Structure 1
Amino acid sequence: MYSNAKSTVHNYTNAVQNHLVVLDRGKQLPTPYSLSAENSAFGHSLSVDLFFGAIGAPNADGKGAVLVNANGGFGDFSPLITLKAEDRTTGDQFGHSVTLTADYILVGAPGDDDKGSDSGSVYVFEEEYNQVHGHDWQQQAKLTGLDGQENDFFGFASSMDGQRIVVGAYGHDSIADNAGAVYVFEFNGIEWQQTAKLTANDGQASDQFGWSVSLLENRVVVGAPGKNNGPSTGAVYVFDYNGVQWLQSIKLISQNNGDNRLGRSLSQNGNRIIVGAASDNPSLSGEAIIYQYDNGLWLEEAVLEPNGANTIDPHFGWSVDLKGSTAVVSSISESGSVSVYKLVNGFWELFQELGEVNAQVDDQFGYAVSISDELIAQYIFTSNPLDDEVIDDSGSVTVFENYSGYAQIGEINAHQWTKNDEFGTSVSISGNRALVGAPNDNDFGFDSGSANIYEFVNGQWQLITKLLPEDGSVNDRFGYSVSLSGDRALIGAYTDSQEEIKSGAAYVFELENGDWVQVSKLKAADPRFSAYFGRSVSLSGSRALIGAFRDGEAGANAGAAYVFELINGQWEETEKLIASTTNIGDYFGGSVSLDDDQALIGARFDET
């Protein structure tokens, strides 16, 4: 049996050999790796804790994405899931801001157009965990301001604490052009509702109130870097909630004269606020100011300046973060740098200067920074959104870990999210069209999978579309097997667990009005634990053959294959095939091939 099957497979190979030779002669299919494309701005925004890191890439494929990494131990942050809005479109800048909490990931999309061009929005993703799929985040809500309008840039900045969210809209015009506003949302147990809108008591045109925001319990801190105070530029406003309403408590300004843009960046932790004041004036140096709340007053505790005598660095204070007794301040001047400060005996002292080992001029190392809480170790994420390691300006994120000092322990770039997709695990060709599986792609979570349609046009293979299942999930391995027949595609997801753990599934897609759409999800009528239905698939016209090589009806791992037919517009299971001589462990159905009314099924461990 085995030798005959092997001979038949060779004949099939010969039948398509000419197409394969064409691909070998410089016609390699372009991989669908848009996240690592030029100008993806990978690392534009960051948020990290001890277990996960969220990285925004607002220009990825022109729409934006957020990439979530999991700490596998000892700071080894590896790709876990890619977040994409259900309705994202070109120019949304999904991922411009990102906030990671214990239960949620908050993602800003200031270019969203729901309430006018660039009105903006924020997406709420809630973490879900189960033993089958592990950690996952599902879109729970999309937030917009009740009075949102064009050019608000709602979502340019956002922050979350518990069941409360604040969102900056620095372009909002209700007071004056670009005066700005901040919106407060709370979860009532059913949905997120806007409960307040904050504006500055002295708001005026071009304040950019809401450029940066930070929420901690009942306190909101808002940056307004465009505020004109006369001799200085920029301000920070503190609002406190008294149980009934939000009240402006204080306005903080820099004591230094000049265009310092105080409030370009900020962070709060405990009873302290750190505020960045990167300057627009190349002859002036930026700064970062730490304020402490003491006996009802906000007092200037420290002014942090670039290290070195007479140092002029206008970009110092570009990004800041604060956790406990650790503060970080970045500068994107030249190749970029990050300064780490520690609170020692009541004074903030420079602890260490960080730089990326392979940083180049204009990489913008330090564009965004984020510190984790400190338990056994503390991690600092700092981004280089213009890093060229993969491709021009594709970006990267550098990870530092602290024991006695901070050391670079890794680098994350967008290519890591695609290089292990196993693109090419399965292939199928029909006429001038090709289908390629990538079962380890992460669009719906780790190893959720994808498949890609190509067409041969004007002497070149062109990527037409990327196929994803409507209910894709972590570890489905959609795309491990593929089969293409004319305008119809069959794609296996052998570890899909909708019915039983790893019982498997297969999906049918069809070309309708120029678009490839999912028309059916096929499952065995008798799903079994770890049957791996969909490990192999074959399509011939309106008939499909699907292997389940670990099906146990005829014995453990004996295997089976299922026949489906399109009847009156519906795909129906018409027969389950089990070899008459099948024994335990044969893996019957490990490979399948279908040609009209003839089926060929492999059983690689059959010993008859």
Structure 2
Amino acid sequence: MPTQSKLENTWKEQKVVADDGSAQDWFGSAVAVCGDWAFIGAKNKTVGSNASQGVVYVFKKIQGTWVQTQKLTASDGQAVDQFGSTIAVSNGIVLIAAPFAKIGTNTWQGAVYVFTPSRSSPSSTAPWVQRKKLVAARGTAFLTFGTSLAMNAEYALIGAGGTYSAGQQIPRTVYVFRRDKATTAASENWTEKQLLENPRPQDPGNFFGGSLTLSKDLALIGARTSTINDNPGQGLAYVYARSGAGWKLTDTLMASDGAPRDNFGSSVALYENSALVGAQGVFTVGSSGGAVYQFQPSGSGWQQTQKFSATPGSALSLFGAAMSASNEGALLIGAYATNNYRGAAYLFNIRKDTWLQRKELLANDGVAGNVFGYYTALDGETILVGSYTAQVNDNLKQGAAYFYRIPKNLP
């Protein structure tokens, strides 16, 4: 069973590893948490004889301790699918992507699988069941559908594209799926409703859709390698608003001090009336320390209201590479390159529209190369950080993940 240590009402860490872990699994290559459930991807895991088919491990919080209860795989999984590359969870529904899945004769077309709890089973040890497989209606080879994910109770955003086929780059796009209001937990009917195309087709390498987030009525989509004027890799983020049954581009966000290779749009988050955009390449403390920008509505558009970095921060930390927000006004930001890629994560809270750093998180057993903070998840009082290249015993890059509970009386 996984390595565990009981969480207390202080800053305590619980490290977990897979109960069947092996070298090169990359456990922690995607993380998601919702209430008492957590989902951790191991996209490179071999299943049977299928190398890199991928697995997602389910953890449940039981009496304050996170315990592995289940392993999820795709019902039709194949080698190299990398199931568990990205995970999104909302309202008791989990989406798990396998962006390199072969669909028919289309290599690397990709798929996203929908899981919900099994209502017929009262057991807490195996409640999640695959209900649906989502694919692009006009999918093609090398589409890599599912390279990024975001969802709410009604919609899902699924990023795709960016790979090359016959020397031509597949355009980056974001697919919008809608959950049928009449659906049941046992059926999970989702329908493709819209295709959001790159707003700057003249810049096909801008990584549009590389980062996604979704609230009830807003979507924020990053394009971190966008060229602005003569600045390669400066980056942009796009605001979409729900309009009737669809989504409409309403604004483009850009850093007021943008520079080449800032990678503005590395990560994105929404909290109430704030849009937050990570820029992992921003120069701080002499090099790519990274920064996060906050934007808020102003008149008919959005205005930059804050720029912040880690304190004390370090050179080449890539702060802002990952980001997660909670409904309680907390923000978790990854900086996986800190201290020679040992990695770090930072917790911020909002006070009067300003984000203030509250805690720097470092894995107690972290070492160089573990990339702690490459993936982050946050819900309520629970923090989850992936460290997918961590060595476990003699297993290189088996991977690990770390849980923390935010103290009730956070100073």
Establish whether TM, by shorter chain, passes 0.5.
Answer: yes
Relative to structure 1, is the Cα distance of residues 295 and 190 closer, same or farther in structure 2, using a 3 angstrom cutoff? closer
Q: CA deviation at 1:208?
A: 1.3
Q: CA deviation at 1:201?
A: 1.0
> Where does 1:582-593 land on structure 2 (aligned, <5 Å)?
none
1:82 corresponds to which residue?
133
Cα separation, 2, equivalents of 1:161 and 1:145: 21
| Matched residue type, 1:138 | T
User: What runs of 5+ residues in structure 2 fail to find an aligned partner?
Assistant: 1-73, 103-107, 392-397
Could you list the per-position Cα deviations for residues 155-181 of structure 1 after superposition, in whole angstroms to 9, with x for gaps in the alignment?
A: 111111112211111121124211111
> Where does 1:339-488 land on structure 2 (aligned, <5 Å)?
339-347=402-410
Q: CA deviation at 1:140?
A: 0.6
1:292 corresponds to which residue?
349
Aligned partner (choices 154, 157, 176) of residue 103 of structure 1: 154
Relative to structure 1, is the Cα distance of residues 246 and 96 closer, same or farther in structure 2, using a 3 angstrom cutoff? same
Relative to structure 1, is the Cα distance of residues 195 and 112 closer, same or farther in structure 2, using a 3 angstrom cutoff? farther
Cα separation, 2, equivalents of 1:315 and 1:131: 40
1:94 corresponds to which residue?
145
3-state SS in 2 of match to 1:274: strand
Percent identity over the alignment is 28
Q: CA deviation at 1:42?
A: 0.9
1:265 corresponds to which residue?
322
Q: Compute the TM-score of the two structures, normalised by the length of structure 1.
A: 0.48
CA RMSD after TM alignment: 2.4
| C-alpha contact 1:52 1:77 (8 A) present in aligned 2 | no
Cα separation, 2, equivalents of 1:131 and 1:221: 33
3-state SS in 1 of match to 2:97: strand
Q: Does 1:242 align with 2:330?
A: no
Aligned partner (choices 319, 324, 341) of residue 375 of structure 2: 319
Cα separation, 2, equivalents of 1:139 and 1:145: 18
Q: CA deviation at 1:200?
A: 1.0
1:152 corresponds to which residue?
206
2:179 corresponds to which residue?
127
Question: Which deviates more from structure 2 when the two are superposed, residues 69-78 or residues 179-188?
Answer: 69-78
Q: CA deviation at 1:224?
A: 1.3
Q: CA deviation at 1:118?
A: 4.6
1:304 corresponds to which residue?
361
Q: Does 1:219 align with 2:219?
A: no
| C-alpha contact 2:324 2:333 (8 A) present in aligned 1 | yes
1:186 corresponds to which residue?
241
Cα separation, 1, equivalents of 2:410 and 2:367: 21
Relative to structure 1, is the Cα distance of residues 72 and 277 closer, same or farther in structure 2, using a 3 angstrom cutoff? same
Structure ranking higher on relative contact order (CA contacts 8 Å, 6+ apart): 2
Could you list the per-position Cα deviations for residues 262-292 of structure 1 after superposition, in whole angstroms to 9, with x for gaps in the alignment?
A: 111101113221100001764x531100111
| C-alpha contact 1:145 1:183 (8 A) present in aligned 2 | no
Q: CA deviation at 1:128?
A: 0.8
Q: CA deviation at 1:311?
A: 4.9
Relative to structure 1, is the Cα distance of residues 110 and 275 closer, same or farther in structure 2, using a 3 angstrom cutoff? farther
Cα separation, 2, equivalents of 1:68 and 1:228: 40
| Matched residue type, 1:97 | S
Q: Does 1:60 align with 2:113?
A: no
| Matched residue type, 1:242 | S
Relative to structure 1, is the Cα distance of residues 344 and 187 closer, same or farther in structure 2, using a 3 angstrom cutoff? closer
| C-alpha contact 1:238 1:249 (8 A) present in aligned 2 | yes
Cα separation, 2, equivalents of 1:346 and 1:323: 17
| C-alpha contact 1:219 1:239 (8 A) present in aligned 2 | yes
Q: CA deviation at 1:126?
A: 0.4
| C-alpha contact 1:264 1:276 (8 A) present in aligned 2 | yes
Q: Does 1:39 align with 2:80?
A: yes
Aligned partner (choices 118, 123, 141) of residue 72 of structure 1: 118
Question: Which deviates more from structure 2 when the two are superposed, residues 129-138 or residues 203-212?
Answer: 129-138
Cα separation, 2, equivalents of 1:159 and 1:301: 23
| C-alpha contact 2:271 2:329 (8 A) present in aligned 1 | no
Cα separation, 2, equivalents of 1:313 and 1:112: 26
Relative to structure 1, is the Cα distance of residues 340 and 235 closer, same or farther in structure 2, using a 3 angstrom cutoff? same
Could you list the per-position Cα deviations for residues 36-76 of structure 1 after superposition, in whole angstroms to 9, with x for gaps in the alignment?
A: 22221211100123521100111111111111111114461
Relative to structure 1, is the Cα distance of residues 34 and 209 closer, same or farther in structure 2, using a 3 angstrom cutoff? farther
**Higher relative helix content:** 1
| Matched residue type, 1:225 | Q
Cα separation, 2, equivalents of 1:248 and 1:274: 20
Aligned partner (choices 127, 132, 139) of residue 192 of structure 2: 139
Q: CA deviation at 1:216?
A: 2.9
Q: CA deviation at 1:341?
A: 1.0
Relative to structure 1, is the Cα distance of residues 135 and 314 closer, same or farther in structure 2, using a 3 angstrom cutoff? closer
| C-alpha contact 1:109 1:154 (8 A) present in aligned 2 | no
Cα separation, 2, equivalents of 1:71 and 1:94: 24
| Matched residue type, 1:59 | F
Cα separation, 1, equivalents of 2:163 and 2:298: 33
Relative to structure 1, is the Cα distance of residues 104 and 235 closer, same or farther in structure 2, using a 3 angstrom cutoff? same
Cα separation, 1, equivalents of 2:81 and 2:293: 33
| Matched residue type, 1:289 | Y
Q: Compute the TM-score of the two structures, normalised by the length of structure 2.
A: 0.70
| Matched residue type, 1:126 | R
| C-alpha contact 1:306 1:312 (8 A) present in aligned 2 | no
Q: CA deviation at 1:339?
A: 1.2
| C-alpha contact 2:91 2:153 (8 A) present in aligned 1 | no
Q: CA deviation at 1:78?
A: 0.8
Q: Does 1:256 align with 2:313?
A: yes
Could you list the per-position Cα deviations for residues 73-111 of structure 1 after superposition, in whole angstroms to 9, with x for gaps in the alignment?
A: 446111111111112222222101111211111101142
Cα separation, 2, equivalents of 1:317 and 1:156: 17
Q: CA deviation at 1:134?
A: 3.7
Q: CA deviation at 1:314?
A: 4.3
1:174 corresponds to which residue?
228
Cα separation, 1, equivalents of 2:116 and 2:299: 37
**What number of residue pairs does the alignment pair up?**
312
| C-alpha contact 1:119 1:154 (8 A) present in aligned 2 | no
Cα separation, 1, equivalents of 2:75 and 2:182: 30
Aligned partner (choices 215, 220, 223) of residue 161 of structure 1: 215
Relative to structure 1, is the Cα distance of residues 327 and 131 closer, same or farther in structure 2, using a 3 angstrom cutoff? closer
Cα separation, 1, equivalents of 2:170 and 2:263: 15
Whose radius of gyration is greater, 1 or 2? 1
Could you list the per-position Cα deviations for residues 426-485 of structure 1 after superposition, in whole angstroms to 9, with x for gaps in the alignment?
A: xxxxxxxxxxxxxxxxxxxxxxxxxxxxxxxxxxxxxxxxxxxxxxxxxxxxxxxxxxxx
| Matched residue type, 2:173 | S
3-state SS in 1 of match to 2:189: strand
Cα separation, 2, equivalents of 1:111 and 1:311: 32
Could you list the per-position Cα deviations for residues 173-205 of structure 1 after superposition, in whole angstroms to 9, with x for gaps in the alignment?
A: 124211111111112215321100111111111
3-state SS in 2 of match to 1:344: coil
User: What runs of 5+ residues in structure 1 fail to find an aligned partner?
Assistant: 1-32, 349-608
Cα separation, 1, equivalents of 2:272 and 2:224: 22
| Matched residue type, 1:279 | A
